[in-house]
């Protein structure tokens, strides 16, 4: 009276194979679940008892022990309900051992025996597809549209416990996964052409998109910072297949995948409110939810009103900005989640918001402005390659201007620049260039070098700041298809350096 089967637990975004063992022997009738967190085991037991009795599958009045191995892996959540009950039923002889060969399953059980959706199905499917011992995965029917992109595995959807038992007995009765759904086009319909004027800001966005540079937008309220930032994902190249899988898995684990959609093909855009907690931003919590930084992986993380975020929350961004991953330390070991996002931050230039206004409406004392901006952590600002002051938009008759470029047009230029970057023999985005590689990839001729040296001397630029100027200048040259960085590229790169708290007149540094 002993049976085993296979299911999966999620550790961060990574599925881990779990062996479910059930044994039945004489003794006081009870159901003992070992290897599951205490609270989860208690709830699981209640759901299992109710679901089994509603379905007419009586568990024997004997001592049933179910063990989930490995024991040292912390396991919680309701996705073990179905495998635990099926293992117990198999040990009791209601399900044959032969029918479980090559089968893995997971799902939450309702008290009435229905099988309810769980998180992270796509990740589990991909893991099963790479597991030679598994050829069939039984998932909750509501999760079935998620498995479309996984190849090499037969996934079937169950809506009830009895349909699972019937399928195991007869090999039929469960629906198969539909084909791969349409790849989702863009995340938003917001187009750059909707933004009137703001040629300088659009140029900054284009450069940021081409090089992957983190960008800070300064400007008074209502100048269009949010409108501009939300257009950045539309300027980025579509995700590659493997990037799309990473992004879709993160959304699947977070339970944010819309049913019926295939892979997410467009770079995601996440804009958490400034009241977000550290856990909300970097991830964690009892169910280990991916945070905003992981949901923005391969896309854009937009922090509006940067100065309003709690300093501790902004400090938590340091590691993902540095490493492209976020490490969440838990009671039982640490988990690493992907978090390679492009940061766009926006804030007023001063408390009243009019620091950058040419109208001279700013009423703030200079020292108050400095204090306001110093609330931002230095290490965070150090990671930002470009700062742009968005001027207040002045309405002009549209007939006097050329029609603004659409997102599609700019994206073509960005894609061409990225292609040029790789043709130069560089396999990372310019923003990710290591300092040691700058000498080769961002070589400056005498004239360009002296422009940068002179600016560094006059405005006290740190070595790090000079490297950032070089990376941005490299992107500007790539956009122009220029093999070498030209003096004008360095001058334009320098224009995106502004020491916070300085007046617009002395805007370099």
Locate the DSSP E strands across 348-437: 386-389
d(C-alpha 141, C-alpha 160), whole Å: 9
**DSSP helix/strand/coil, 445:** coil
Nearest distance, CB of residue 390 and Zn ion, angstroms: 15
Name the segment binding Zn ion (CB under 5 A); options: 189-197, 232-240, 327-335, 352-360.
Answer: 352-360
Name the segment binding Zn ion (CB under 5 A); options: 98-106, 182-190, 315-323, 361-369.
Answer: 361-369
Task: Closer to Zn ion by CB, 6 or 348: give it.
Answer: 348
481 dihedral zone (left: phi>0; alpha: psi -120 to 50; beta): left
Site for Zn ion contains 491 (CB under 5 A): no
Name the segment binding Zn ion (CB under 5 A); options: 256-264, 266-274, 299-307, 362-370.
Answer: 362-370
Binding positions for Zn ion, 331-350, rule CB under 5 A: 350
Q: Are 20 and 8 in contact, with CB atoms under 8 Å apart?
A: no
Instruction: Please give the backbone phi and psi of residue 217, each rounded to the nearest 5 degrees, phi first.
Output: -105, 125
Task: Closer to Zn ion by CB, 280 or 351: give it.
Answer: 351
Nearest distance, CB of residue 376 and Zn ion, angstroms: 16
Site for Zn ion contains 392 (CB under 5 A): no
Nearest distance, CB of residue 111 and Zn ion, angstroms: 60
Nearest distance, CB of residue 451 and Zn ion, angstroms: 32
CA 379 to each of CA 61, 155, 315, 367, 384: distance values in angstroms, whole numbers, following the listed order: 63, 46, 8, 21, 9
Query: Alpha carbon 457 to chain centroid distance?
Result: 40
Nearest distance, CB of residue 118 and Zn ion, angstroms: 51
Task: Closer to Zn ion by CB, 287 or 361: give it.
Answer: 361
Task: Closer to Zn ion by CB, 350 or 472: give it.
Answer: 350
d(C-alpha 192, C-alpha 230), whole Å: 9
CA 274 to each of CA 270, 303, 332, 342, 377: distance values in angstroms, whole numbers, following the listed order: 12, 7, 30, 18, 15
Question: Helices H, strands E: what count in the chain?
Answer: 18, 19
DSSP letters for 128-165: HHT-TT--EEEEEGGGGGGGTT--SSEEEEESBHHHHH
Nearest distance, CB of residue 137 and Zn ion, angstroms: 59
- Residues in binding contact with Zn ion, number by CB under 5 A: 5
Task: Closer to Zn ion by CB, 50 or 352: give it.
Answer: 352
Task: Closer to Zn ion by CB, 205 or 350: give it.
Answer: 350
Nearest distance, CB of residue 180 and Zn ion, angstroms: 53
Q: List % helix, strand, coil for the chain (3-state, nearest 5).
A: 40, 20, 40
According to CB under 5 A, which one of 57, 155, 293, 364 is a site residue for Zn ion?
364
Task: Closer to Zn ion by CB, 362 or 469: give it.
Answer: 362
Site for Zn ion contains 368 (CB under 5 A): no
Task: Closer to Zn ion by CB, 31 or 355: give it.
Answer: 355
Name the segment binding Zn ion (CB under 5 A); options: 2-10, 32-40, 357-365, 388-396.
Answer: 357-365
Nearest distance, CB of residue 434 and Zn ion, angstroms: 39
d(C-alpha 368, C-alpha 3), whole Å: 70
What is the edge-to-edge ordering of all strands in the sheet holding 386-389?
A: 269-270, 300-303, 342-347, 215-218, 386-389
Smallest CA-to-CA distance from 387 within 173, 137, 213, 172 is with: 213
Nearest distance, CB of residue 365 and Zn ion, angstroms: 9
Site for Zn ion contains 352 (CB under 5 A): yes
**DSSP helix/strand/coil, 10:** strand
Task: Closer to Zn ion by CB, 229 or 362: give it.
Answer: 362
Name the segment binding Zn ion (CB under 5 A); options: 25-33, 188-196, 264-272, 356-364.
Answer: 356-364
According to CB under 5 A, which one of 362, 376, 390, 485 is a site residue for Zn ion?
362
CA 115 to each of CA 217, 367, 426: distance values in angstroms, whole numbers, following the listed order: 48, 62, 49
**DSSP helix/strand/coil, 366:** helix
Nearest distance, CB of residue 378 and Zn ion, angstroms: 22
Residues that bind Zn ion (CB under 5 A): 350, 352, 355, 362, 364
């Amino acid at each position: 009276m002993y049976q085993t089967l296979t299911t999966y637990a999620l550790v961060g975004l990574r599925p881990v194979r779990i062996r479910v063992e059930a044994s039945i022997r004489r003794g006081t009738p009870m159901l003992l679940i070992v290897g599951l967190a205490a609270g989860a085991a208690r709830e699981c037991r209640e759901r299992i008892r109710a679901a089994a009795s509603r379905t007419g599958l009586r568990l024997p009045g004997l001592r049933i022990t179910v063990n989930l191995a490995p024991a040292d892996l912390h396991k919680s959540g309701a996705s073990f309900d179905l495998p635990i009950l099926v293992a117990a039923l198999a040990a009791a002889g209601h399900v044959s051992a032969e029918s479980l060969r090559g089968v893995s399953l997971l799902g939450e059980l309702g008290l009435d025996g229905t099988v309810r959706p769980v998180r992270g199905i796509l990740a589990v499917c991909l893991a099963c597809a790479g597991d030679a011992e598994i050829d069939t995965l039984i998932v909750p029917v509501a999760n079935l549209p998620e498995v479309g992109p996984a190849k090499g595995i037969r996934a079937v959807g169950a809506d009830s416990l009895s349909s699972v038992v019937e399928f195991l007995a007869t090999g039929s009765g469960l629906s198969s996964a539909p084909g791969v759904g349409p790849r989702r086009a863009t995340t938003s319909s917001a187009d750059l052409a909707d933004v009137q004027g703001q040629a300088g800001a659009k140029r900054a966005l284009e450069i940021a998109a081409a090089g992957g540079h983190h960008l800070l937008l300064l400007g008074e309220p209502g100048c269009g910072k949010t409108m501009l930032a939300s257009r950045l994902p539309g300027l980025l190249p579509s995700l590659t297949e493997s990037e799309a899988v990473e992004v879709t898995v993160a959304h699947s684990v977070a339970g944010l995948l819309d049913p019926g959609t295939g892979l997410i093909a467009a770079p995601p855009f996440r804009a958490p409110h400034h009241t977000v907690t550290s856990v909300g931003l970097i991830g964690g919590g009892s169910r280990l939810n991916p945070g905003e930084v992981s949901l923005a992986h391969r896309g854009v993380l937009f922090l509006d009103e940067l100065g309003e975020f709690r300093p501790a929350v902004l400090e938590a961004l340091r590691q993902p900005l540095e490493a492209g991953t976020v490490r969440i330390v838990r009671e039982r070991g640490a988990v690493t989640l992907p978090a390679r996002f492009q940061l766009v931050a926006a804030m007023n230039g001063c408390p009243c918001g009019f620091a950058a206004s040419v109208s001279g409406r700013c009423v703030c004392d200079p020292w108050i402005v400095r204090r306001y901006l110093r609330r931002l952590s230095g290490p965070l600002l150090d990671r930002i390659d470009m700062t742009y002051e968005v001027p207040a938009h002045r309405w002009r008759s549209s007939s006097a201007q050329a029609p603004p470029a659409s997102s599609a047009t700019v994206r073509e230029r960005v894609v061409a620049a990225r292609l040029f970057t790789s043709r130069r023999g560089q396999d990372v985005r310019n923003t990710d260039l290591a300092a040691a590689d700058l000498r080769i990839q961002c070589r400056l001729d005498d004239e360009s070098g002296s422009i940068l040296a002179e600016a560094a001397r006059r405005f006290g630029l740190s070595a790090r700041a000079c490297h950032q100027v070089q990376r941005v200048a490299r992107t500007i040259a790539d956009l122009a298809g220029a093999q070498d960085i030209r003096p004008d590229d360095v001058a334009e790169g320098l224009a995106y350096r502004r020491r916070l708290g300085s007046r617009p007149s002395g805007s370099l540094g």
